[in-house]
Structure 1
Amino acid sequence: MQSSSFSIVVIPLIAISLSILFYVILLRKTTQKKIFKRYVLTIILAAFLLNAVWEILQIPLYLEGVYIWSHILFCLLASVADAIMVLLIYFGFGMIYKNALWIQNLNPSRIAFLVLAGGIGAVLAETRHLSIGTWSYAESMPIISVVNVGLSPVLQFMILPLLIYIVAVKIATPHPYT
């Protein structure tokens, strides 16, 4: 149990550190620093809000999942972690594409790669959290039998990052008249 509580602190610190490192690298490389900063801020806010809604809505799919304040607070904390992961995905793809503003050019192959990466990441995260006992599923959770994890959290990371990036482009891209 001690190693799992250690990793509960270490893994978020690594994710935050990588996010800061990738942010600095991509900020230095882009010529459109103001737009990049606006995207990052919009992604953080949209990721927290959309993931919080998703997390709270799926409470009944988890063992002893009832709408009480402690479960809602846990969902809000999970949403902070989700927002960091959405940001890390954005930065990771920025590093791969060598373009801090890659979400301006979403195309079918980038979307497919993003959805696949989100799904694989969710499966890995769910497998880990289930194995260390962070949470358990209620019988109401649909299970992806091939990997034995819940469908809802996998769909969350297959759908929300793409939606968040689209929202960021719509909200944070300067319009010609501004």
Structure 2
Amino acid sequence: MTAVPFTYVGESRDWLGALRRYFVFSAVAHLIWEFAHMPLYTIWLTGTPGEIVFAAVHCTGGDILITLSTFFLALMLFGRLTWPQTQGPRVLLAALIFGVGYTIFSEWLNIEIREAWAYRDLMPIIPVIDAGLSPVLQWVIIPTAAYSYALGWWPWRQRTPEVSHG
């Protein structure tokens, strides 16, 4: 059995760089998304500009914690020492399932039970689960885009073959 070295050379094998790219991309994208979908919530009509900004920034902080939790849980369960070269799709799928699952639970808890926020009529609702489409899409689109960015999975990007020197 061949031992896998702890450190790797090259961007595609840089697990720490991939994690950094994933989290920075996610944080920025969640902040943008929170401001973009704020008009779909009642605070857009009832809140002051300061309250709206606070809500978006506060929600982004929660999004960052959810990102950390779901991604590390996915890595712990499905990642391997050779990540990110291997198990990439499996880790991403797990992170998506955990993120969407938590989002559906959180939307239900905060809208139905706690009444911490409410949707406007503009928010498309997903039948059966009664969750807003925008927050669910947020937890599909942003992690997928962040993961693609972190690992260089862009369809238009040319891959250069690794050259063996030995």
Q: TM-score range by the shorter chain?
A: 0.7 to 0.9
Q: Which residue of 2 aligns with 1:148?
A: 130
The answer on whether the counterparts of 1:43 and 1:87 sit within 8 Å (CA) in structure 2 is no
Q: Which residue of 2 aligns with 1:40?
A: 19
Q: What is the rounded CA distance, in whole Å, between the counterparts of 1:123 and 1:103 in structure 2?
A: 28
User: For this pair of structures, how many residues does the alignment match?
Assistant: 144
1:62 shift after superposition: 0.2
Q: Which residue of 1 aligns with 2:78?
A: 97
Q: Percent identity?
A: 22
One-letter code aligned to 1:39: A
Q: Counting helix residues as a fraction of each chain, which structure ranks higher?
A: 1
The answer on whether the counterparts of 1:114 and 1:158 sit within 8 Å (CA) in structure 2 is no
Structure 1, unaligned runs of 5 or more? 1-29
Q: Which residue of 1 aligns with 2:152?
A: 170
1:102 shift after superposition: 3.8
SS at match of 1:141: coil
Summarize the Cα distance change of 1:163–1:100 in structure 2 as closer, same or farther, 3 Å threshold: farther
Q: Which residue of 1 aligns with 2:157?
A: none
Residue 69 in structure 1 maps to residue 79 in structure 2? no
1:52 shift after superposition: 0.7
SS at match of 1:139: coil
The answer on whether the counterparts of 2:15 and 2:83 sit within 8 Å (CA) in structure 1 is no
The answer on whether the counterparts of 2:43 and 2:52 sit within 8 Å (CA) in structure 1 is no
What do the CA deviations read for 1:118-149 (whole angstroms, capped 9, x no partner)? 32221011111112122110111111120111
Structure 2, unaligned runs of 5 or more? 154-159
When normalised by structure 1's length, the TM-score is 0.68
Q: Which residue of 1 aligns with 2:34?
A: 55
Summarize the Cα distance change of 1:39–1:87 in structure 2 as closer, same or farther, 3 Å threshold: farther
> Over alpha carbons, which structure has the higher Rg?
2
Residue 31 in structure 1 maps to residue 28 in structure 2? no
Q: What is the rounded CA distance, in whole Å, between the counterparts of 2:102 and 2:94 in structure 1?
A: 12
Could you say what the CA RMSD is over the residues aligned between the two structures, in angstroms?
2.9
1:110 shift after superposition: 5.4
1:114 shift after superposition: 4.1
1:72 shift after superposition: 1.9
Q: Bigger CA drift: 45-54 or 58-67?
A: 58-67
Q: What is the rounded CA distance, in whole Å, between the counterparts of 1:127 and 1:74 in structure 2?
A: 18
Q: What is the rounded CA distance, in whole Å, between the counterparts of 1:140 and 1:97 in structure 2?
A: 38
One-letter code aligned to 2:61: V
